[in-house]
A = this chain, B = another copy of it.
């Protein structure tokens, strides 16, 4: 072991602000940004500092990509599916209805070619590069003021559900609303809406949604394993020395893994509290699930017919989905079926 001659001496000191889409109260998701930034600082001996800022401080929550793309802010932490209006294929960077769970999403992004395809798209469309840096795991299917069993029960229902999930619900007859998280409680309480989805037990409990809606549905079929991502302006990225580029990538892996672990650890405890407080758990009926899946793939076919980027990525993704479903049905679902058979659901 010998002292180095100082090869690290020439590395620059960098201080970046990071725009995020999250309020501080979503501490597990916002925590993905801080895990990333803290580790990046630690492995660069404090020379590369990124300061994550809550939604609204540097950019509105759904405009993180825009400010990073313009170079107004060098980097962000957000969800790609907020930007499907600019390019619908961005949805695959997060999660799509009846898509991949968290573990499958990582397999597709890292080893199924998904991330490379999406990075080429983002570079061309937005001049940014992105890395997965968080996953919430499978979400819940939302809060309802009354039971819904049939497709007919959905007709005319006013539900807060954004994104592609909302588009699918609209095809099933739901009147879709998009409200920020902070307004859901009151809208449910006053009856302005009949139903709302947010995230899962840990985050939903903090909004108090169990106090204004009795029925908690599962699964969240529109978000089986959403990925969050770090986005970096490509010109800023290209200026980074290779050692910092490597540091960004590995810190993002860590943020991706720890967020999923945290949600799994926190949600299971929150779910027990919610049940104890009288929440009524209900599964979506096979009738609703089948209709929603059919509507989802009709939507994908529509996007593919109109948008070549979507078609390219969808075709690859669909093949991967079929293969990994076949594999996980053998190695993991068979184990789950036995293990969970004794549990109430």
* Complex interface: chain B residues within 8 A of A261 (CB): 106-107, 109-111
Interface string of A216-246 (1 = CB under 8 A from B): 0011110010000000000000000011001
- Most chain B CB neighbours (cut-off 10 Å) among A8, A15, A101, A108: A8
Interface residue stretch chosen among A37-45, A85-93, A160-168: A37-45
**Please, which residue of chain B has its CB at the minimum distance from the CB of A108?**
B265
**Closest CB of chain B to A152's CB: distance in Å?**
20
State the interface size on chain A (CB cutoff 8 A). Answer: 93
Residue A51, interface by CB 8 Å: no
A9 and B12 contact, CB distance less than 8 A:
no
* Complex interface: chain B residues within 8 A of A266 (CB): 111
Interface string of A255-288 (1 = CB under 8 A from B): 0111011101111110110000000010100100
- Most chain B CB neighbours (cut-off 10 Å) among A98, A106, A286: A106
Residue A50, interface by CB 8 Å: no
Cα-based distance from A258 to B3 in the complex (angstroms) = 32
Residue A192, interface by CB 8 Å: no
**Please, which residue of chain B has its CB at the minimum distance from the CB of A339?**
B325
Q: Report which of B15, B103, B339 forms a contact with A98, defined as CB distance below 8 A.
A: B339
* Complex interface: chain B residues within 8 A of A337 (CB): 333, 337
Q: Report which of B5, B111, B326, B334 forms a contact with A271, defined as CB distance below 8 A.
A: B326
11 example contacts (A-B, Cβ-Cβ < 8 A) are as follows A6-B10, A43-B243, A44-B243, A45-B243, A101-B336, A110-B261, A111-B262, A137-B331, A267-B331, A293-B338, A333-B333
Having A39-B250, A268-B324, A329-B340, one finds 19 other A-B pairs with CB under 8 Å, namely A4-B8, A4-B10, A4-B12, A4-B47, A6-B6, A43-B43, A98-B339, A101-B332, A103-B264, A106-B260, A111-B266, A112-B265, A139-B331, A219-B331, A220-B335, A224-B332, A224-B335, A271-B327, A281-B330
A268 and B8 contact, CB distance less than 8 A:
no
Residue A247, interface by CB 8 Å: yes
Interface string of A97-122 (1 = CB under 8 A from B): 01001111011111110000000000
B250 and A258 contact, CB distance less than 8 A:
no
